[in-house]
Chain A
């Protein structure tokens, strides 16, 4: 059974940093591109970042470019999102998702990030 489990969310002050993790199981992690998608309270889904299977290509939404860093460790079946210079508008539930020709056939349950003083 494919499973994606996020962790690392929490309350952080504006300007602070946080590192999210997503641990995968039930499939060959190194064969798939992975993504982070977020959803602000009461808002729609927003694609945040993608990384290809061997980390060859990495993409970021303009809203997070220069502040967020996506990475993966295929030996540990894990995906990470390092978030720096956090702003109030980064407050959201962050989902990791596996992609194929579409963004997400499997999604994690999400982890909540709250940026507030």
Chain B
């Protein structure tokens, strides 16, 4: 049950774009289009931002987008805003003995 690999932190200036990577294996990220991304503010529950690699739930800003290449998925946030400061987690379905795996999380700072 190895966690997916995310950078510990990323930062950007207001208005800029940033990308958070999420690297797994062919048994999870690379093998299925079931990658999702979550935003979590301190003391709050996670919020679904992207599902099935690149789909946005209703109500999520179109500044958030997702993609995948091989065993690495990515979350891109364009037009950075102060409200985007949060922790971001990726998750994937996995063909291992357990169905789900998370990344370690990435702390986003807006400079």
Interface of A toward B, CB cutoff 8 Å: 35, 37, 44-47, 50, 59-62, 95, 97, 99-105, 107-110
Residues of A within 8 A of B102 (CB): 37, 44-47
Distance A61 CA – B2 CA, assembled complex (angstroms)? 11
Count residues of B near A (Cβ-Cβ below 8 Å): 27
CB distance from B109 to the nearest CB of A (A): 17
Residues of B within 8 A of A103 (CB): 36, 91, 100
Q: Which residue of B lies closest to A47 (CB)?
A: B100
29 intermolecular pairs with C-beta atoms under 8 Å apart? A35-B100, A37-B46, A44-B87, A44-B89, A44-B102, A45-B46, A45-B91, A47-B91, A47-B102, A50-B98, A59-B98, A59-B99, A61-B1, A62-B98, A95-B45, A101-B34, A102-B35, A102-B36, A102-B48, A102-B52, A102-B91, A102-B93, A104-B38, A104-B46, A104-B48, A104-B91, A105-B48, A107-B46, A108-B45
The A-contacting residues of B in range 78-111, CB under 8 angstroms, are: 87, 89, 91, 93, 97-105
